[in-house]
Structure 1
Amino acid sequence: MGVEVLMNVTPTESRVVLVENGILQEVHIERQLKRGLVGNIYMGKVSRVLPGMQAAFIDIGLDKAAFLHASDIVSRIDGEPLERDERPEPSITSLVRQGQHIMVQVVKDPLGTKGARLTTDITLPSRYLVFMPKSAHVGVSQRIDDNEERERLRNLAETLSTEDGHFIVRTAAEGNNDGALRSDADFLTRLWQQIKKRTKTQRKVGVLYEDLNLCCRVLRDFVGEPIERIRVDSRTTIEQLKQFTGDFIPELSTVLEYYTGDRPIFDLFDIENEIQRALDRRVGLKSGGSLIIDQTEAMTTIDINTGAFVGHRNLEETIFNTNIEATQAIARQLRLRNLGGIIIIDFIDMQNEEHKRRVLHSLEQALAKDRAKTSINGFTTLGLVEMTRKRTRESLEHVLCGECPVCRGRGSMKTVETVCYEILREIVRVHKAYEADKFVVYASAAVSDFLLNEESHTLAELEVFVSRQITVQTETLYNQEQFDVVMM
């Protein structure tokens, strides 16, 4: 069994999964009310310039102002755009001013409390090419190794380029004829002309161009994957995809299939349960070990435990085998959960330097299939592995889950004993500050039971101390940390 793509489409939500050899590898979710913004082009207005941060906040019509750094603004000297590594970084105040209208493109979706990340370096991708209106040079994907093919594609890209911009040749273009690339170039050129026309007529903040919907975008981005079958459970979507693949990715037209089975399409590979398991902290390994994955605002940490795995030889060999198995599981979980940013991996301590080298090599090989860019920095002096993974959209947990209203994201709650002792201290505090005839405590069932049973003697002693009656009442709607001390 090879690679399959399953698409579950409803009016409110589209879900696309990539399955390799029957195992879920990637999950992509787009909700109608929260469509991804990456690739969208906007007419924005500079709402605030921050010289100390070398950045500006841009109003593009969203709830949160978007962020534009000076390094993401295309600079020109004598009318010629400079490549990013050649550009000086002038002060942000010399690049933009408050109230200025500016055309920008989203490169990162809003994440948590952060607004979208923007660039003025506009790019328009298609099947084989990426059109860069403000670039002065052509480029060829580094994944194309053949020198003759690289030169052919570079010369063709030069020929196709116009005064409006130049092209970057994508990996999928390797081996394709000139006609296919010319068709792509014509499409992108026409698209850019339409965007320029809208720019002239639209002077208010708003969208100029929206990227493809999730289903079309995934097929465009999965180019190069050996996809054997694409199954879709929506008749409207399958017709749309047939049109899209016929125009841009004809080789995928033959693997499109309308799913009409009685079972939900995600039941075919137990996808729903796999998604639920991808939200758990603990990931079991076949050997009996486990991964503990914690996602925070600053970074993601992954801890490896041997668990019940005791091995058959010696401790060092047991640890090495567990770490090797963990590298495969880590690579899958990063893709499946779409974890990005800084990632710290705490492998089980190894004394053998050769074992460390082989574990790093295994991790690099496992991550080779990941389409997101990754960088591994090796073991630190504390024995941790530092790595990064490019993050352009929210993780699976952030898409499907929200903050717990009880713990407010801490991941833990105060114990019953802690809350009880807080209540007792609050009674003393209120008694010293105010005059009251008696006190009534409203608390959750667990806290009330603990006060009236295990801590009944303490409550009685407190009544004697404050010379007031204390009554405890259960409030069923309160969570474990909530309570009120009421004076009567």
Structure 2
Amino acid sequence: MTAKLIIETATNLHKIAHLQDSQVQAFYIEEQKAIHYVGNIYVGRVKKVVKGMDAAFVDIGGDKNGYLHKSEVFLDEHEMFAERIKEGQKILVQVSKEERGTKGPKLTTFIEFSSSYVVYFPYSGYVAVSKKIAEKEKWKSFGESVVEGAEGLLLRSAIEGMSPSKIEQEIVTLRKEAEGVIGELQAEGTVPRVVYQREDFITNMIKKAKADKLELIVDSFETKKKLQASFPEATVIFQREKESLFDIYHLQKELEKALQKTVWLPSGGSLVIEETEAMTVIDVNTSRFVGKTSQAQTILETNLEAAKEVARQLRLRNLGGIIMIDFINMKNKEDGEKVLQKLKTETEQDPVRTLIFGFTRLGLVEVTRKKERDSLQHLLLKDCGICKTIGRYRNEKKTLDDIEGELLSYKEEAAWIELSPLLSFNKEEIEKWKEEQEMELYLTEGEELTPFYRLRHIGSREEVEQRIKENKVEFLF
């Protein structure tokens, strides 16, 4: 199985599209300036202990203090949280969940170090083996024979076919890495400080692609050299043209589709996907599909097709948390089991932990998917200030990224861009963004709410300035 990853880094947003059999399986997007914490380990400082919550807030150097609950701390049998964790104390913590909205990142003292084959825990005291491994007992015995003291291991499915000596060598490497990090707690240095950083965004996302062969297409020669060194077994292709990679491979349209509520199925049925603060709800409809046999068969075929597409949409949109799916009502219990099995089979391909709990008493299928990153909607859209979240439209980051992608096809000196009054830009950020562009950009505010931007004129500086003067408009920035 070959996975093709299109990696675009030429614009404000780093974008990766994971394709398999010519179909997009996932989008991974991150701002160039974004700072991510999950997996990073810090020497932090306890700022506040909240006894009523059995929790503490720890300064790790970010805008928001991290949240540490007692369930994430080593405690003796009768030891109280406030006895172990005190204000002003230095503490070694790892980020387990990104900050979101007003909430800071979640922290744990149960630190771990991972590779493609092994997750190493300095203090867990247990050995676990992936359920996908056929020879579980053999590998569990191996794991128990190589751990020392309170160490623990999780042996991943990728170890199948590998020699035990190679895996043991990898464990030794992780052990040495852990010893160095743990020693940082006693070392002199500023507090807070980062003592272990996860892999960069692009490397991390490539590792999520489960495939026998990797084909990586990039628009930066520097990125090509870096990925060739990190993934010597992959085919890395450098491609830079007038258009952005996402336009060349028609991925921009696919990205726009992934931001819409309705997804049409090949048969004519449809999904309606609604993200809310509490959960995501997916409704399955027959819509234009009438089938060729009985009504029960039509419903089953639509639901089976929907189950496959739901699994893809979870990956594509990076939906996490609680997900409720309202399949078309099936009177036959066996048909319901077929749909559940199809959904389970399709979600097994997901690199993010996804659990299918089955039908509720109301006939809805209950699913949970681990939240690892913001969904596409949270990344690229914003709530409507008029209808207060009933509607959503593209945000400022998405608009700037779209502008950059379109400007790549021009080699002129300057451009006049008209922006929708719905958009609100920070002056310092927009000035910095303008400086990063190859063209001289003149930004004005339009009268219409949509489209979100228009390229009014492209040419020399004199031509653009004259056109703006003729239209008697004022510059935004």
Same fold (TM over 0.5): yes
- Are positions 1:188 and 2:168 aligned together? no
Q: Deviations over 1:346-367 (max 9, x none)?
A: 1122222222222212211221
Aligned to 1:171: 157
SS at match of 1:202: coil
TM-score by length of 2: 0.76
Match of 1:254 among 218, 233, 237: 233
SS at match of 1:201: coil
Q: Deviations over 1:129-165 (max 9, x none)?
A: 222122333433332121464156425xx43x45684
Contact between 1:299 and 1:344, CA under 8 Å: does it hold in 2?
Answer: yes
Give the Cα–Cα distance (whole angstroms) in 2 for the partners of residues 92 and 411 of structure 1: 44
Deviation at 1:19, TM superposition (A): 0.8
Contact between 1:127 and 1:184, CA under 8 Å: does it hold in 2?
Answer: no
Instruction: Return 304-313 or 161-170, whichever deviates more.
Output: 161-170
Contact between 1:48 and 1:56, CA under 8 Å: does it hold in 2?
Answer: yes
Give the Cα–Cα distance (whole angstroms) in 1 for the partners of residues 392 and 16 of structure 2: 33
Q: Deviations over 1:96-132 (max 9, x none)?
A: 2222221111111112332211111001112322221
Aligned to 2:204: 217
Deviation at 1:204, TM superposition (A): 1.2
Aligned to 2:439: none
Aligned to 2:262: 282
Aligned to 2:343: 363
Cα distance change of structure 1 residues 340 and 89 upon mapping to structure 2, 3 Å threshold: farther
Cα distance change of structure 1 residues 129 and 49 upon mapping to structure 2, 3 Å threshold: same
Aligned to 2:296: 316
SS at match of 2:351: coil
Q: How many aligned positions are there?
A: 395
Aligned to 1:482: none
Contact between 2:208 and 2:351, CA under 8 Å: does it hold in 1?
Answer: no
Contact between 1:126 and 1:220, CA under 8 Å: does it hold in 2?
Answer: no
TM-score by length of 1: 0.74
Cα distance change of structure 1 residues 398 and 256 upon mapping to structure 2, 3 Å threshold: same
Aligned to 1:27: 27
Give the Cα–Cα distance (whole angstroms) in 2 for the partners of residues 209 and 133 of structure 1: 15
Contact between 1:2 and 1:227, CA under 8 Å: does it hold in 2?
Answer: yes
Aligned to 2:41: 41
- Are positions 1:403 and 2:383 aligned together? yes
The one-letter code of the counterpart of 1:102 is: I
* Pairing of 1:422-461 with structure 2 (within 5 A): none
Cα distance change of structure 1 residues 11 and 89 upon mapping to structure 2, 3 Å threshold: farther
SS at match of 2:305: helix
Instruction: Return 208-217 or 400-409, whichever deviates more.
Output: 400-409
Give the Cα–Cα distance (whole angstroms) in 2 for the partners of residues 386 and 32 of structure 1: 35
Aligned to 1:62: 62
* Pairing of 1:443-482 with structure 2 (within 5 A): none
Give the Cα–Cα distance (whole angstroms) in 2 for the partners of residues 91 and 148 of structure 1: 38
Match of 1:109 among 98, 103, 111: 98
- Are positions 1:207 and 2:187 aligned together? no
Give the Cα–Cα distance (whole angstroms) in 2 for the partners of residues 150 and 12 of structure 1: 45
Cα distance change of structure 1 residues 219 and 181 upon mapping to structure 2, 3 Å threshold: farther
RMSD: 2.7
Give the Cα–Cα distance (whole angstroms) in 2 for the partners of residues 383 and 196 of structure 1: 50
Aligned to 1:144: 133
Deviation at 1:194, TM superposition (A): 3.5
Aligned to 1:241: 227
SS at match of 1:24: strand
SS at match of 2:42: strand
Deviation at 1:268, TM superposition (A): 5.2
The one-letter code of the counterpart of 1:308 is: R
Deviation at 1:182, TM superposition (A): 4.2
SS at match of 2:339: helix
Deviation at 1:50, TM superposition (A): 2.7
Give the Cα–Cα distance (whole angstroms) in 2 for the partners of residues 39 and 30 of structure 1: 17
Aligned to 2:334: 354
Contact between 1:288 and 1:307, CA under 8 Å: does it hold in 2?
Answer: yes
Aligned to 1:439: none
Cα distance change of structure 1 residues 44 and 329 upon mapping to structure 2, 3 Å threshold: same
Contact between 1:238 and 1:256, CA under 8 Å: does it hold in 2?
Answer: no
Contact between 2:323 and 2:368, CA under 8 Å: does it hold in 1?
Answer: yes
Give the Cα–Cα distance (whole angstroms) in 2 for the partners of residues 130 and 147 of structure 1: 16
Contact between 1:153 and 1:169, CA under 8 Å: does it hold in 2?
Answer: no
Give the Cα–Cα distance (whole angstroms) in 2 for the partners of residues 6 and 126 of structure 1: 24
SS at match of 2:383: coil
Give the Cα–Cα distance (whole angstroms) in 2 for the partners of residues 140 and 376 of structure 1: 21
Give the Cα–Cα distance (whole angstroms) in 1 for the partners of residues 173 and 104 of structure 2: 31
Gaps of 5+ in 2: 394-445, 450-477
SS at match of 1:102: strand
The one-letter code of the counterpart of 1:139 is: A
The one-letter code of the counterpart of 1:398 is: H
Instruction: Return 305-314 or 195-204, whichever deviates more.
Output: 195-204
Cα distance change of structure 1 residues 35 and 29 upon mapping to structure 2, 3 Å threshold: farther
Cα distance change of structure 1 residues 27 and 41 upon mapping to structure 2, 3 Å threshold: same
Q: Deviations over 1:297-349 (max 9, x none)?
A: 11000111221222223333322222121111111000111101111111122
Give the Cα–Cα distance (whole angstroms) in 1 for the partners of residues 99 and 250 of structure 2: 31
Give the Cα–Cα distance (whole angstroms) in 1 for the partners of residues 16 and 166 of structure 2: 27
SS at match of 1:39: coil
Larger C-alpha radius of gyration, 1 or 2? 1
The one-letter code of the counterpart of 1:116 is: P
